[in-house]
Amino acid sequence: MTAILEHINTPQDLRTLNPKDLEQLTIELREFIIDIVSAKEGHLGASLGVVELTIALHYVFNTPIDKLIWDVGHQAYGHKILTGRKSIFETNRQFGGISGFPKMEESIYDAFGTGHSSTSISALLGMALSAQLQGNIHRQHIAVIGDASIASGMAFEGLNHAGVTNANILIVLNDNAMGIDPSVGALKKYLTNVKTGTAKEENIFECLNFHYTGPIDGHNLPILVKELERLKKIEGPKLLHIITTKGKGLKSAEENQVVYHAPGKFNKQTGELQKKEPQQQAPKYQDVFGKTLVELALKNEKIVGITPAMPTGSSLKFMMDALPERAFDVGIAEQHAVTIAAGMAADGLIPFCNIYSTFLQRAYDQVIHDVAIQNLPVIFCLDRAGLVGEDGPTHHGVFDIAYLRCIPNLMVFSPLNEIELRNIMYTAQLGLNHPIAIRYPRGRGGILKWQKPMSQMTIGKGELLKEGSKIAILTTGPIGNMAAEISNELGSNSGIAHYNFPFIKPLDEELLTKIVQKFDHIITIEDGSAIGGFGSAILEFSNNIGIHKIIKIFGIPDFFIPHGDTERLYKEAGIDKMSVKKYVQQFL
């Protein structure tokens, strides 16, 4: 480590620096971030883009007394390093290590926990109004929010409220014209016009009653410091618009901003990505979705695709490339994504609305009110269902079965593998007369030759995968492959019967009746919440038909599963192979 960063452990140390030393600190902080992220993985581009801003904010403001909130929080690595976590930054996102997002329990400098976008303005306003009510007139409140996140409904709700208050807040709009993928929408066009000086006279933020300044160069540290010092003295709602480059300081990250949002391991000198993946391997579920959708859409012109700001992550980009007029990136706007899909379905289109399981939480009312009550046949494809790994509790998609299963009209499906995912997509676009949620995990499946002809599935059918007479294992989703491994390892005569229930709703009641009649001991396994999930559905069913057997539910327990590699997290949740096998063996 070079001269300056070595001596900075807290913002108090930073504030003792001579302004002329800050420039050198930007170089060292970037190097530090690149050094660790290249080896340990994580979000890169966003943090590199706000190095100057991070230093300037902690230099000018009196953190942690002054409140600083990072929207999404994926850009807060520099903040973490300067606020007492430099020595443990190498544990970032690893099990037992620090979180990749700000977290209140981790540091007094993390004023508010984030991970999902566009929450910062509301949270900040809450703190600023609270300060007013408590007579705390000196405290400053600052949120950093990106251009893609400020376009979201929730951010607008916060702006709309803040503009009629005299709350002492400063919103720093970090405009790099990128989300994970390029930013979209009319606001993006407006911000581009502001930057190029072609915007019409009225400024949107001034119209909302904010003291607006900018756009200024977010990589010019002296200008940033000067402007923040000035704004510190102005009361009421303020918005500072800064222009930055995502990935600033690492050539490949600046040139390929989508990939370097979270690039995996790379060479810290050259930026070259570490190629670790063998050629012959099973596909990512997201690619099975993306490629299958194109295949189907080429034959069925009513099919449309929708993503709220995740074209690359969801692989809807395949359809955006092949059929751009029928594939829509609506920006970070999950609620809008659901209701626009409802509108399209109401008018006869067949919308595939792809949303990460965790982000659909934000659009729950839209699923119920706009889709399910009207029984509109929207096809929800919920990627990243289950435990997602290093992003941790804000991103695990473990509540979807529980929160969707209770909604009338809505079918819920979890494919065992790539083939079942393709088949249900094929079946759904043929017409179900109901909405359906198809949930599948992050990462790869297990089938190399997955691009087989698709076939129609029978709605609500489960299947027997292995005969047995002592104990029945019922699974939904790809976790069924783990159950199959357990059953294989225990031998073909172990007595384990294994059933796959891809339809969580409607359940295969005929098959279930036979199972609960035949077996005294039933085990259910799912990668979702044990409370209210698939196992609960089985328990409810057997209770309702008056048959009471031992039903052991393996699912995500009633606590937030932390971040870390998924294998470790499965153990943490008690749904790993070893735990399940140990339980099963007792009864054979």
Ligand X SMILES: Cc1ncc(C[n+]2csc(CCOP(=O)(O)OP(=O)(O)O)c2C)c(N)n1
Residue 290 annotated in ligand binding:
no
Is 46 a binding residue for ligand X by CB under 6 A? The answer is: yes
One-letter amino acid at 251 equals: K
One-letter amino acid at 514 equals: K
Q: Which stretch binds ligand X (CB under 6 A): 84-92, 147-155, 291-299, 369-377?
A: 147-155
313 or 397: CB nearest Mg ion: 313
C-alpha 332/C-alpha 363 separation (Å) is 12
Question: Which residue is closest to ligand X by CB?
Answer: 146
- Candidates 154, 170, 178, 363; binder of Mg ion (CB under 5 A) is 178
Contact 238, 210 (CB under 8 A): yes
Residue 498 annotated in ligand binding:
no
Contact 82, 58 (CB under 8 A): yes
Is 176 a binding residue for Mg ion by CB under 5 A? The answer is: yes
* Cα–chain center distance at 147: 18
Active site (annotated) includes residue 85: no
Contact 287, 311 (CB under 8 A): no
**Helix pair angle (221-232, 51-60), 10° resolution:** 40
- Candidates 384, 405, 439, 563; binder of ligand DXP (CB under 6 A) is 384
C-alpha 133/C-alpha 129 separation (Å) is 6
Residue 334 annotated in ligand binding:
yes
One-letter amino acid at 83 equals: T
C-alpha 338/C-alpha 8 separation (Å) is 46
C-alpha 259/C-alpha 44 separation (Å) is 10
Site string for Mg ion, 105-144 (x = CB under 5 A): ----------------------------------------
- Candidates 146, 237, 435, 445; binder of Mg ion (CB under 5 A) is 146
Which among 462, 476, 570 has a CA at the least distance from the CA of 525?
476
* Residue 55 touches which of ligand DXP, ligand X, Mg ion, none (Cβ within 5-8 Å per kind): none
83 or 118: CB nearest Mg ion: 118
Least separation in angstroms between CB 441 and ligand X: 17
Contact 313, 356 (CB under 8 A): yes
Of how many residues is the chain composed?
A: 588
Q: Please, which of residues 310-349 interact with ligand X by CB under 6 A?
A: 332, 334
Question: In the chain, how long is the greatest CA-to-CA distance?
Answer: 79
Site string for ligand DXP, 173-202 (x = CB under 6 A): -------x----------------------
Is 176 a binding residue for ligand X by CB under 6 A? The answer is: yes
151 or 180: CB nearest ligand DXP: 180
Active site (annotated) includes residue 299: no
Instruction: Verify cis geometry, omega within 30 degrees of 0, for the bond prior to 324.
Output: no
Active site (annotated) includes residue 362: yes
Catalytic positions: 246, 334, 362
Q: Which residues are at the interface with Mg ion (CB under 5 A)?
A: 146-148, 176, 178
Which segments are annotated as binding site for thiamine diphosphate? 74, 115-117, 148-149, 176, 334
